[in-house]
Amino acid sequence: MKHPYFLNRLLLLFSICLLFSFTTMAQTIRGKVTDAKTGEPLTGATVHLTQDGLSKFVAVNLNGAYSFKNLKNGPYKLQVNYVGYGPSKVKEGNITSASDVITVNVALQDADMQMTEIQVKAQANKESDGAVRSIEKNAPMVINVLSANTIKLLPDVTVANALQRVSGVTIQRSASGEGRYAIIRGMDQRYNSTLVNGIKIPSPDAQYRFVPMDIFPSEMLERLEVIKALTPSMEGDAIGGVMNLVMKSAPSQFTLSANVSGGFSTLFSSSRPFVGFSASPNSKSPAAINGNSYAATYADFSNKALASDKNISTPFSSTAGITIGDRFLNRKLGVIVSASYQNIYRGSNSKQLTPNAQPSAIPLPNSPQFSDAYDRTYSTQTERVGIHNKIDYAINNNNKISLYNLYIHQSEFESRFTSDTLGLGLNSTGLSKQITISNRSMLTKQSIYNSTLHGDHWLGNEWRLNWDGVYSEATRHQPDRTEFFYDANKTLNNSGAVTAEVDNNTQLDHHWENNRDKDISGYANLIYTPKIAGKDVEFSAGGLYRHKVRDADYITYSLTGGKSTLFNNNFNSIPFAFNSAADGIGANNPDLQNNYHVRENDNAEYLQVKFDLFPKLQVLGGVRIENTDLTYATQSPETVTQRSGNIKYTDVLPSIHLKYQLTDNQNIRASYYAAISRPGFGEQVPYKVTGEYYDQVGNPYLKHITADNYDVRYEFFPGGADQLLLGSFYKKIYNPIEYFVVRDGGPSSQVIKPQNDPGNATNYGFEALATKFFGVIGFSINYTYTHSRITTNKLLYSNDPTLGLQQTNVNETRPLQGQADHVGNASVLYKSAKLGLDMQLAFVYTGERLAQVSPYYNLDFYQHAYNQLDFSFEKTIAKRFSFYGKVNNITNAASKIYLKYPHGSLDAKQQEFLGKQDIAGQTLVQSDYYKTLFLGGFRYKL
Amino acid sequence: MKKYIIPVICILMAAAFSGCQKWKGEHMDIYSYTPPAANPVSDKAPLSCSSSGSTVIPVKGTMLTGKTYTVEDGCDLVINPTDTLLMQPGVTLNMGVGSSLIALGTLVSNGSKNQPNWITVPGIVKNDAPGGLTAAADPAYAGKWKGIIGGPTCNLLVLRWTHVEYAGLTEGKATSTIAGSGTGNQYSILFANYNGNFIMEDSWLYGGVDDPIRISAGKIAIFRNTFEKNGVSGGDCLNAKGGTVGTMAYNMFMGTATNGQKASNKGQATGAPQTNIVMYNNTFVSGGYRQVQSGRGGCINFEEGAAGMYYNNVAINCRFGYRVVGSPVADVAHLSYGNNYQWADSLSVANQFYPTGYITQPQSTDIPSITTSAKYLPANYTLGSIYDGSDVVQKNNPMFLNFPLPTVGHPLYQYSAIGNFNFHLLASSPLIGKGNTSIKPLITVPLDKIYGLSDATLPGTDLGAYQLNGSGNQH
């Protein structure tokens, strides 16, 4: 146990910081701080006064004024800093008894200086587009930022959907069309990390480390940063990029804002109702309640999750949010509380052909074979509650601390109805059809809690220390997922009428799945800013330590319906029971390896230096060392190989970032950084989960992924919200983790297993982003071209003239999963302060992308190019009151998935069941329609 | 009358001749030295795992003639990859409830006609009378122990003159992980190494839960065995998947849940050959009635890329006839068949001689003849379509020694064990002399009296497992 020692160290440090004290003074310096260009008062800027080696700080007030009182006589130095602006020149002077009030006015250029790399902290209102432009411009690394103002006007209510507006980002959707994960520059979610206020948060995901981004309501954000190149001071596990959610911080004066809205999806109607259900009363499994040796019977289960299905023809979605903030105690104490509630009804209508695990070698090699043609309707109710609160307190001018708390909870009620009346597959014929229907009610509860205590200390002129103590918890519960299957054979006569029905299998599954991550971590950074050879040089050193514990449990109870009772839409009449009474015993659960405990201790240390090599060339470079130490233990019996293990690795991650300032408003950047991606827990623990087509198992022998990343970018910030960014990137990825089908014994036991591909992957492309306002009308466009390639071994099942049917391994080169060659956003904005009207029409284009990799050659699933058009507006209707609306997916765009196999070449029997096809050289296997979502409401802002 | 004279004389002469042989006699008793087994397995105490903390009992060496060995309940008897367990003739291995026998190395059960081996559960009383017990009450289907598993490193598994009984309990996590052969298995015998050899000759398999024998992949020779009461509510008795090559011949199946013999290329591993099974001279009686799903077959089945052939087989009152599947299609370009016999007590059986919806091609050598009548089969018959089989119900009585047809007194599904029945042919049987002897067995296993296949019986002139000349199935 290392962390108590660490906490002690923190405590010590903290106490030392509190020892700083200051002597009394006599005179006064005051003045105003303004923007050199616009003359605007720069509220919130920090004025730093040094006298006799002691430092004092004050914040600039609303009028742009500051003052230092009770100063001693003698020489002084004064400098002003403000996020997004360069530091002012050092003003030197001398206080004498004659000069009792000295006025020093400072005008800041929004140039030169950088925001601190350690953590982006904003004191003032940084929610405007102009403010984030200066962050993008002044940051030492490649970054894109969405401001709160931009997010507010977006048609999106979750962070995931807002992310698709960022240059180079595409999103992966859930079954109901809600964006869930972000793919940054063609690198899928495993390559990206999520920070809240610069602090990494654990994921509630059942298997992976990445965080579902739809859990965050977007209105809680002050800004959304997508950082595409890592500095040594940042955690190194982001090959694609980092999503940093900067939450609203305490304002400089009393703030109150609130909003409420309502809406509906046009998907639902009386003929296609939303199907809601009530959660099962059994939040814990029989084994969790009564112990693993308890033999459960049918009486232990409740079918409420299915039995309570209720049709609602037009469910009403609603959202509400409130933010209150103020500053107290002579502006030393700032508090903000923000709460958000969303209750959204969405869904989709899906048509899907389910491929057999194995294709056929006849008529063509790897001819897809379909076993079922499903019509599925999804109804999803998502309730999100988010509360966050930040308290910052300036102990004195040199010492500030803040406490941040975030709690987010999402309950997703998803009911899925599947009907299959076509009768595909091995045991169906023209006169005997095997049909499968299944209904599933699934409640997924996820939550994230984060509490961060942060301190900032100026230790004299040239030294600064900041630290964070963090506790985070992420949980996911799937209590009593209830699924009912009915598989029957219908016998038909020559005219196609059903003459008999035989129940092949009636099954009822009750499933519980829980995981919980707890992180305790500490961060500390020491910054030293001496002048060397007349130049400002900034050295930083620091590190982090994280102690993570993850516990997961997983159990499925499968009951059978006896096969004698036909299903007539009432499963309560079916006599369910365990096949054998022993199947009801928790200890007989075949998935014991899914009950696991993981302990991971990570620590990282870095050293970085920043200086201007030439007056206009800034260099930031350094190295980071990350140590990972993971131990896992499953509940598998002693005879199971891989039941427990320990995995350790160390990475040395150098990076260098060059920024050349062409002019005041133009930069050229070049950077290199090394990064890693750690395998997910569910990949590394020998886990086994049931997948859509194949079961998936973990692989303790997985190595982590490493990558070399190169970036160049040209930036032009003509002022205001306008910008032009042109960039290019190249990534070389080593030990990429890809999924392969391996035999797990028998023929029906082929499983998907993550493995390190022996070949390296490459990913390169370029990005362009332009925003330009012509008066009240603005245009924003971004486009990213990405080209990634990886060569992996695939199975080819073909008919060899001499050897007969053969399965061989062949290499196939393909893009990385999730990557689209062409991704773009275009929006037209109208912003008129005079009319109090803002409007935005936003269009997202995601080119064809690899949706799922097949183990078989040329049978990968590709998602066809997807366009979505959204509209939103906000109109001030009274002082402080506005009305706003959001319309999503105006054109009812469909998500379609194809196999690149000419559908005309499928065998005659399969042809009968294909459904409507629209591309000659491909086979449409899935189409999902979400329809249009409307939301309208009121906002109040004091 | 004349036509009977010669056979009758022949029979009389044969009887007289064999009688004379008995009297003649000569006795020799000459000493021969057999070195003692180097590693005899002790039978003093039960083979036990409970003191070891795990379920594993490693075993190797020799089980000696005449001895009885007992495996403790819940233990996995494991032959490690480089080890061999040889069971001499006359060994009884009593398996505990929930135990298993896992061969990661070599297992040879070398029983003999006079001294068969037994791998069984003691103390269970069989009731093999038709309708004597329901499937739910019959211990044959209860799955007392987990069966024999030839894992992915098992190079040789031989069962010769060996009774295997009452297996098929779900393997469970621990056992299936040790065996490395997939999870959720409920097989009596599983073999899963496409480079290994599975040989089963002159043996008996009684009872079972799912597929009684699952060949995930392997080189196989399955000759002259008897299968009874196999599969409780589904399961193909000999189910060969992708990467299985060899021969199934002279096997007798009674009351299998689904098919007696099935071949599929599903799950062919990279490096494994295409499934290719030669099946000949097998007899199937009352197959397919415990499979609740319809259309699944009752005797022989080829599907999903499997190649091979089936000739000289006999199917009596099976729920479905010989089935060739069209989607995913069997490798019909490399599949041949003919000289196969079927008998139907009832119209519903006759209507499925060529199962509805599948692509079995009627052959001119089939019995009953496909030109029996205008209804069987009609001129416009297309593969898998519905036809009227009324003209072939109860035609061509096979004249078994003791199995009266049509059956009386019991529904067809109740005929699940041989008991006192006898499926040897009477000399008057129409099955005699109808066999195709030009086909060849597909021998992929080593030929050896102990460590291989001792006798690859060639295709016989008479249809079914029992040849009038006494060759074929010896039970």
Same domain as A267, residue A239 = no
State the DSSP code for A314.
Answer: S
Same domain as B178, residue B279 = no
Same domain as A744, residue A614 = yes
Is residue B166 one of the residues assigned to a domain?
yes
> How far, in Å, are A182, A784, B229 from residue A819 at the CA level?
11, 11, 55
Per-residue model confidence as pLDDT tens digits over B81-120? 999 999 999 999 999 999 999 999 999 999 999 999 999 9
Is residue B370 one of the residues assigned to a domain?
yes
Work out the average pLDDT over B249-271: 92
- To the nearest whole Å, the CA of B320 is away from the closest chain A CA by 13
Q: B31: which 2 tokens? A: 């000493």
CB contact under 8 A, B273 and A804: yes
Work out the average pLDDT over B232-261: 94
The residue of A353, A356, A369, A427 whose CB has the most chain B CBs within 10 angstroms, and thus the best one to mutate to test that interface, is A427
CB contact under 8 A, A489 and B190: no
CB contact under 8 A, A745 and B233: no
Same domain as A39, residue A144 = no
pLDDT of residue A20: 37
Q: What is the mean pLDDT of each run of 10 residues along chain A (942 residues)?
A: 48 42 56 71 78 79 75 83 74 74 75 34 58 84 90 88 89 83 89 93 91 90 93 94 92 90 93 93 92 90 91 93 92 92 94 82 87 87 94 90 95 90 58 79 96 93 93 96 87 74 85 95 95 90 96 91 76 83 81 88 95 91 95 87 92 95 91 95 86 80 95 89 92 89 64 85 93 90 92 89 88 89 92 89 92 88 92 91 93 92 84 81 92 93 84
HEC states along A127-175? CCHHHHHHHHHHCCCCEEEEEHHHHHHCCCCEHHHHHCCCCCEEEEECC
CB contact under 8 A, B267 and A588: no
Query: Residue A787 belongs to a domain with what CATH number?
Result: 2.40.170.20
Residue A46: in which H helix or E strand, if any?
strand A46-51
Using a CB–CB cutoff of 8 Å, tell me whether A558 touches chain B: no
Is residue B183 one of the residues assigned to a domain?
yes
pLDDT of residue B7: 65
State the DSSP code for A848.
Answer: -
Is residue B151 one of the residues assigned to a domain?
yes
For residues B226 and B252, is the Cβ–Cβ distance under 8 A? yes
Is residue A312 one of the residues assigned to a domain?
no
Please tell me the total count of domains within chain B.
2
* CB-CB neighbors (< 8 A) of A805 in chain B: 265, 268, 274, 305, 307, 331
- To the nearest whole Å, the CA of A487 is away from the closest chain B CA by 10
Same domain as A512, residue A465 = yes
pLDDT of residue A174: 82
CB contact under 8 A, B327 and A907: yes
Same domain as B390, residue B303 = yes
The CA radius of gyration of chain A, in Å to the nearest whole number, is: 30
- To the nearest whole Å, the CA of A361 is away from the closest chain B CA by 7
Longest dimension (CA), chain A: 113
Per-residue model confidence as pLDDT tens digits over B211-230? 999 999 999 999 999 999 99
Is residue B404 one of the residues assigned to a domain?
yes
Query: For residues A324 and A389, what is the distance between their CA atoms, to the nearest angstrom?
Result: 10
HEC states along chain B? CHHHHHHHHHHHHHHHHHHHHHHHCCCCCCCCCCCCCCCECCCCCCECCCCCCCCEEECCEEECCCCEEEECCCCEEEECCCCEEEECCCCEEECCCCCEEEECCEEEEECCCCCCEEEECCCCCCCCCCCCCCCCCCHHHCCCECCEEECCCCCEEEEECEEEECECCCCHHHHHHHHCCCCCCCCCEEEEEEEEEEEEECCEEECCCCCCEEEEEEEEEEECCEEECCCCCCCCCEEECCCEEEEEECCEEECCCCCCEEEECCCCCCCCCCCEEEEECCEEECCCCCCCCCCCCCCEEEECCCEEEEECCEEECCCCCCEECECCECCHHHEEEECCEEECCCHHHHCCCCCCCCCCCCCCCCECCCCCCCCCCCCCCCCCCCCCCHHHCCCCCCCEEECCCCCCCCCHHHCCCCCCCEEEECCCCCCCCCCCCCCCCCCCCCECCCCCECCCCCCCCCCCCECCCCCECCC
- Select from A640, A749, A805 the Cβ nearest to the Cβ of B173: A640
The residue of A292, A353, A354, A362 whose CB has the most chain B CBs within 10 angstroms, and thus the best one to mutate to test that interface, is A362
- Select from B177, B233, B274 the Cβ nearest to the Cβ of A806: B274
Same domain as B324, residue B444 = yes
* CB-CB neighbors (< 8 A) of A434 in chain B: 293
* Nearest-Cα residue of chain B relative to residue A593: B173
Same domain as A226, residue A90 = no
Q: Which residues contact A294 (CB under 8 A, 6 or more apart)?
A: A286, A287, A585, A586
A179 vs B182, residue with greater confidence: A179
DSSP states of A58-116: EE--TTSEEEEEEEPSEEEEEEEEBTTBPPPPPEEEEE-SS-SEEE--EEE-SSS----
Contact residues, A window 394-433, toward B, CB-based 8 Å cutoff: 425-432
- Select from A593, A745, A797 the Cβ nearest to the Cβ of B182: A745
Using a CB–CB cutoff of 8 Å, tell me whether A743 touches chain B: yes
* CB-CB neighbors (< 8 A) of A505 in chain B: 293
The alpha carbon of residue A553 and the mean position of all alpha carbons in its chain are separated, in whole angstroms, by: 24
Determine the residue type at A582.
Answer: A
pLDDT of residue A25: 40
A397 vs B377, residue with greater confidence: B377
Residue A435: in which H helix or E strand, if any?
strand A432-458
Query: For residues B211 and A746, what is the distance between their CA atoms, to the nearest angstrom?
Result: 12
* CB-CB neighbors (< 8 A) of A431 in chain B: 356-357, 384, 386
Same domain as A223, residue A185 = yes
Is residue A591 one of the residues assigned to a domain?
yes
Q: Provide the 3-class DSSP secondary structure of residue A841.
A: strand
pLDDT of residue A482: 95
CB contact under 8 A, A747 and B266: yes
Site of tokens 């018959």: B381
* CB-CB neighbors (< 8 A) of A748 in chain B: 182, 241, 266-267
Site of tokens 């309708």: B131
Query: Residue A28 belongs to a domain with what CATH number?
Result: 2.60.40.10
* Nearest-Cα residue of chain A relative to residue B269: A807
Same domain as B440, residue B373 = yes
Is residue B235 one of the residues assigned to a domain?
no
CA angle B301, B303, B304 (to 5 degrees): 165
Closest CA to B80 of B173, B153, B187: B153
State the DSSP code for A585.
Answer: B
pLDDT of residue A427: 57
The CA radius of gyration of chain B, in Å to the nearest whole number, is: 22
Using a CB–CB cutoff of 8 Å, tell me whether A911 touches chain B: no
Query: For residues B312 and B334, what is the distance between their CA atoms, to the nearest angstrom?
Result: 18
Of B209, B224, B245, which marks where a domain is finished? B209
Q: In this complex, how many residue pairs, one in chain A and one in chain B, have their CB atoms less than 8 Å apart?
A: 158
DSSP states of A602-648: EEEEEEEEEEEEETTEEEEEEEEEEEEEEEEEES--TTSTTSEEEEE
Using a CB–CB cutoff of 8 Å, tell me whether A562 touches chain B: no
Work out the average pLDDT over B295-301: 87
Query: For residues A106 and A110, what is the distance between their CA atoms, to the nearest angstrom?
Result: 13
Domain that holds residue B165: 40-209
Same domain as A871, residue A919 = yes
Contact residues, A window 344-373, toward B, CB-based 8 Å cutoff: 356, 358, 360-362, 369
* Nearest-Cα residue of chain B relative to residue A641: B177
Model's pTM, two decimal places?
A: 0.81
Site of tokens 């002019």: A663
Which band of pLDDT confidence, cut at 50, 70 and 90, is reported for residue B30? confident
Same domain as A684, residue A573 = yes
Is residue A402 one of the residues assigned to a domain?
yes
Is residue B241 one of the residues assigned to a domain?
no
Q: Provide the 3-class DSSP secondary structure of residue A229.
A: coil
> Could you give the ipTM of this predicted complex?
0.81
Taking the CA atoms of residue B135, residue B137, residue B141 and residue B146 in that order, the dihedral angle to the nearest 10 degrees is 160
Closest CA to B186 of B172, B199, B169: B169
Query: For residues B343 and B355, what is the distance between their CA atoms, to the nearest angstrom?
Result: 14
Of A108, A143, A164, which marks where a domain is finished? A108
What is the percent of chain B with per-residue pLDDT over 90, rounded to a whole number? 77
CB contact under 8 A, B233 and A563: yes
Query: For residues B179 and A745, what is the distance between their CA atoms, to the nearest angstrom?
Result: 9
- Select from A361, A493, A743 the Cβ nearest to the Cβ of B269: A743
Using a CB–CB cutoff of 8 Å, tell me whether A634 touches chain B: no
CB contact under 8 A, A504 and B293: yes
Same domain as B292, residue B358 = yes
Determine the residue type at A204.
Answer: P
Same domain as A36, residue A172 = no
Closest CA to A244 of A219, A224, A215: A224
pLDDT of residue B18: 57
Domain that holds residue A841: 260-276+317-941
Q: Provide the 3-class DSSP secondary structure of residue A278.
A: coil
Same domain as B320, residue B173 = no
- To the nearest whole Å, the CA of B41 is away from the closest chain A CA by 23
pLDDT of residue A37: 60
- To the nearest whole Å, the CA of B20 is away from the closest chain A CA by 54
Q: Given the DSSP bridges, would you call strands A535-560 and A596-614 parallel, antiparallel or unpaired?
A: antiparallel
Please tell me the total count of domains within chain A.
3
Query: For residues A915 and B387, what is the distance between their CA atoms, to the nearest angstrom?
Result: 31
Closest CA to A472 of A406, A542, A380: A406
State the DSSP code for A10.
Answer: H
- Select from B53, B241, B264 the Cβ nearest to the Cβ of A638: B53
Same domain as A137, residue A79 = no
pLDDT of residue A119: 34
Is residue B320 one of the residues assigned to a domain?
yes
Determine the residue type at A535.
Answer: K
* Nearest-Cα residue of chain A relative to residue B292: A504
Query: For residues A680 and A212, what is the distance between their CA atoms, to the nearest angstrom?
Result: 14
Same domain as A383, residue A243 = no
Is residue A283 one of the residues assigned to a domain?
no
Same domain as B290, residue B202 = no
CB contact under 8 A, B386 and A494: yes
